[in-house]
Chains A and B, each alone.
Chain A
């Protein structure tokens, strides 16, 4: 079945450092891909998405490019801030079936130190 694998955390960075969180997927066809962020004590917020190969999703300085050839959707940010500390989830929505549900990776906890 469909699945998402993302790098294990936690990831600890200094403020203004470059961030990469790796995400790869297994799915039939061309799923839609997402990054969600979860701040402490809160639910999930959609950070960005891409719905077809070579699409680049971007939001709040974060970017991810849908790479069909490597089945990847890595999250990047050029300069992280303390306020970016959160748990990041990569997710896909498969093409099978008519309704759709999200399949999530295990999450990567990011801590940014001042």
Chain B
């Protein structure tokens, strides 16, 4: 069974640009969560999607957005990139609510802002 797949693995952008990251969950999983990992702030929750609806959102500015498609694949978008957005972005999927089911993480997309 394939795991959580995140693409691309690495990305380099410049300030002011926007970026879209993709996450394909494990087959059958309907919940997708996104986390940002930085050396300074550690791992922080961005948002969670279930059946194409955002169910839960962390404390990030509106420049960070996401969506989920009918096949449960999810994308997150960051607009007007800032140097501080450089991070490893991790996606996690679970069968149903992450409260009730274990979350499986992908290997992440490493975003570098120049």
Contacts and interface: CB of A to CB of B under 8 A. Distances in A.
A and B interact physically: yes
Interface stretch (B61-69, B75-83, B105-113): B105-113
Given A36-B105, A99-B48, A102-B98, 15 more contacts: A43-B6, A43-B106, A44-B90, A49-B102, A89-B43, A91-B43, A93-B98, A100-B56, A101-B45, A101-B58, A102-B33, A102-B103, A104-B43, A106-B42, A107-B43
Q: Which of B92, B102, B103, B107 has the most CB of A within 10 A?
A: B103
3 A-B pairs with least C-beta separation: A100-B99, A43-B105, A104-B43
Given A42-B107, A43-B107, A99-B55, A107 B99 contact: no
Interface of B: 4, 6, 33, 35, 42-45, 48, 50, 55-56, 58, 90, 92, 97-100, 102-108
A93 B43 CA distance: 14
Nearest to B46: A101
A106 B43 CA distance: 7
Contact of B97 (A42, A43, A100): A100
Interface in A44-75: 44-46, 49
Interface string A64-108: 000000000000000000000000010101000111111111110
A114 interface: no
B35 to A, nearest CB: 8
A92 B41 CA distance: 16
Interface string A28-43: 0000100010000111
Tell which of A93, A100, A105 has the most Cβ of chain B within 10 Å. Answer: A100
Contacts of A42: 107
Nearest to A49: B102
Interface of A: 32, 36, 41-46, 49, 89, 91, 93, 97-107
Nearest to B31: A99
Contacts of A105: 42
Contacts of A99: 48, 50, 55-56, 97-99
Given A44-B90, A107-B42, A101 B106 contact: no
